[in-house]
Chains A and B, each alone.
Chain A
Amino acid sequence: MWIEYLPHTADIRMKIRGKTLETLFRNGIIGMGHILKEGFCEKRMSSDLSLKIHVESSDTTCLLVDFLSEVLSASYTEKSIFCKVDFLTLDSSEILAEIHGMRVEVFEEEIKAVTYHEADVHKCEGLWESVVVFDI
């Protein structure tokens, strides 16, 4: 399973995996898009909006959370769900990327924030993985 949703009393706990850091981060935005509107990213191959984002963080775990936070903020200000990302730079503390999304009328779920709680980007049995807890 590349994207899993685990039990949490009030919020959403998502576990993501990827063969590379790029795929881990990409699965992060697909998983987040699924929360905003179920199945949205499974259907959408095209996009009507692209944005460049730049994120710098102290370590890879913070980078994942900060990256998802930037994408989430863009979702709300642009009323769009971003399912695709092209990384121009991705290292352990910096991302320069272009994100691609589609406008939506309404979101199905309100994610208040992407939290750092339990986030830990690490390698396990050859795959990158992390948990991400969303405040709902």
Chain B
Amino acid sequence: MKITKAHINKLEDYLWEIPKSFKPQMRVPARVLASEPLLDAIMEDRSLAQLVNVASLPGIVGASLVMPDVHEGYGFPIGGVAATSYPEGAISPGGIGYDINCGVRLMVSDQKIHTIRDNLEELAKELYAQIPSGMGKGGQIRLSSKDMDTVLSKGAQWAVANGYGAEEDLAFMESKGRLPNADPSMVSDMAKKRGSNQLGTIGSGNHFVEVDYVEEIYDDDIAEAFGLYEGQVVVLIHTGSRGLGHQVATDYIRKMMSAMANYNIEVPDRELCCVPFNSSEGQDYFKAMCAAANFAWCNREVISWEVRTAWQNIFGPDIPLKLMYDVAHNIAKIETHKVNGQEAEVIVHRKGATRAFGPGFEELPLIYKDHGQPVIIPGSMGTCSYVLAGTAKSRELTFGSCCHGAGRRLSRTAAKKQVNAPVLKERLKDEGIFIEAGSFKGIAEEAPIAYKDVNMVVDTVRESGIAKRVAKLRPVAVVKG
């Protein structure tokens, strides 16, 4: 049945609900966090049909949820959150995605934009030279089998121990850059082979390394705690677990497809395949997913080392780049949330959604603890990005989750038809944004026109109260695959 506005109830400003009665298979309602114009845009693709399907997952609690940057995916929508009861509720690899622990980090310099304007083109070229990007380009590191297992167990700690990272970075990563449940023996040889030369690479698609400056501060206290100030030069990195994570997801989705029958589970879309978390298949996947997540944190740390190398080559050895924070937006975590008024452990699947815990969260570095977890929202290469801070209300509304980006609006094909990439590159250069990319095709597919208005997305999460705006970032140099 096609979903229309008539099927959707407005619960409060920015929160909409498709009731459980909409479809017999739904175990919980489906909720959309969006302004009305964004909801109208969301209804143009199949996001809501997919959200309704997610509401049928075994053990799902509360509601299936999508953030305002949602778009159609495969099985789960991108920008979705689903919490299932721990330990017997479902774990679904499709609820995490193929790019396990795809995420974003923000590094901050102590330079102001006006001091480096003349170096931007040279800096973009140097970043492009230092950071392998695009498909088929391996990184500088070749992992032995033993080192691969250490990366999968230790995450970003491996990079630090081997001279590719900074010890002080670790405290500023979600889960401190390492999930303890990882078991490298649950990762296939094929996955390890695919990842063996991919540490320090960003890949292609919407992944990037971007130099920005802080254009506007919205909350002085939080910005000060996060170390942000107007005019400051910062670096955004967006990538994940590369081919290793893609293969882990492929391997386990295939396994779960046949294992589901053992648990009498039927799902409306094969990509929602799942098993009980506490089943042997569920545990094997969770341990492999944690290992792939660790690979991703290590990857982003090695890329940071490459960024620092490029920085030193342009600006000299004494210009530090500190890690502000690193967040995952494709992951499953066991967390405690209120379910039906009671505190309960749940398995939170976030696929294209960012954890956004409020003040007091014990994992946060001491200097952030009173302000909430940093949430980093990349926009598109020609618009802007945001730094937000999580709030207590995110726990009430969205299992402590927030949006993860602007969200795609146009298909890649449509973007390529509408965008003349060489012209766009020159136009952006005229605006002071230098792009280095492997192909014009990649520039066209990721053009600003292909994305929703990130300002509308961020306004929605701010006005709904699940995150506070802290700073707006404006791009000046972009490296893409």
* CA A119 to CA B204, docked complex, whole Å: 25
Do B135 and A109 touch (CB < 8 A)? yes
A12 sits at the interface (CB 8 A): yes
Do A107 and B254 touch (CB < 8 A)? no
Query: Which B residues from 393 to 441 make CB contacts under 8 A with A?
Result: 408-414, 438-439, 441
Option from A9, A107, A114, A116 in Cβ contact (under 8 Å) with B72:
A9
Cβ-closest chain B residue relative to A11: B74
Question: In the complex, how many angstroms separate the beta carbon of B241 from the nearest chain A beta carbon?
Answer: 10
Do B75 and A73 touch (CB < 8 A)? no
Chain A residue numbers with a CB within 8 Å of B26 are none
* CA A9 to CA B412, docked complex, whole Å: 7
Do B193 and A8 touch (CB < 8 A)? no
Option from B250, B270, B410 in Cβ contact (under 8 Å) with A113:
B250
Chain B residue numbers with a CB within 8 Å of A133 are 74
Do A116 and B271 touch (CB < 8 A)? yes
Chain A residue numbers with a CB within 8 Å of B72 are 8-10
Do B136 and A105 touch (CB < 8 A)? yes
* CA A31 to CA B108, docked complex, whole Å: 43
A45 sits at the interface (CB 8 A): no
Question: In the complex, how many angstroms separate the beta carbon of B155 from the nearest chain A beta carbon?
Answer: 21
* CA A77 to CA B481, docked complex, whole Å: 19
User: Interface size (B, Cβ < 8 Å)?
Assistant: 44
Option from B97, B257, B271, B481 in Cβ contact (under 8 Å) with A110:
B481
Option from A7, A12, A62, A107 in Cβ contact (under 8 Å) with B414:
A7
Q: Main SS of chain B's interface residues? A: mixed
Do A106 and B193 touch (CB < 8 A)? no
A115 sits at the interface (CB 8 A): yes
Do B136 and A7 touch (CB < 8 A)? no
Do B74 and A115 touch (CB < 8 A)? yes
Chain B residue numbers with a CB within 8 Å of A106 are 134-137, 438
A2 sits at the interface (CB 8 A): no
Option from A10, A110, A116 in Cβ contact (under 8 Å) with B73:
A10
* CA A67 to CA B99, docked complex, whole Å: 20
Q: What does the 1/0 interface line of B273-311 toward A look like (CB < 8 Å)?
A: 100000000000000000000000000000000000000
Do B250 and A69 touch (CB < 8 A)? yes
Q: What does the 1/0 interface line of B57-93 toward A look like (CB < 8 Å)?
A: 0000000000000011111001000000000000000
* CA A9 to CA B190, docked complex, whole Å: 30
Do B411 and A117 touch (CB < 8 A)? no
Query: Which B residues from 438 to 454 make CB contacts under 8 A with A?
Result: 438-439, 441
Do B75 and A115 touch (CB < 8 A)? yes
Do B135 and A108 touch (CB < 8 A)? yes
B269 sits at the interface (CB 8 A): yes
Do A62 and B257 touch (CB < 8 A)? yes
* CA A133 to CA B72, docked complex, whole Å: 12
B372 sits at the interface (CB 8 A): no
Cβ-closest chain B residue relative to A10: B408
Q: Pick the 7 closest A-B CB pairs, nearest first.
A: A117-B74, A116-B270, A107-B135, A106-B136, A115-B74, A113-B98, A110-B204
Q: Which residues of A contact B (CB under 8 A)?
A: 5, 7-12, 36, 57-58, 61-62, 66, 69, 73, 76-77, 79, 104-110, 112-119, 133, 135-136
Can you name 25 A-B residue pairings with CB atoms under 8 Å?
A7-B414, A8-B72, A10-B72, A10-B78, A11-B74, A12-B412, A69-B250, A73-B190, A73-B194, A77-B194, A79-B136, A104-B136, A106-B137, A106-B438, A109-B135, A112-B99, A112-B205, A112-B246, A116-B271, A117-B74, A117-B269, A117-B271, A119-B270, A135-B246, A136-B412
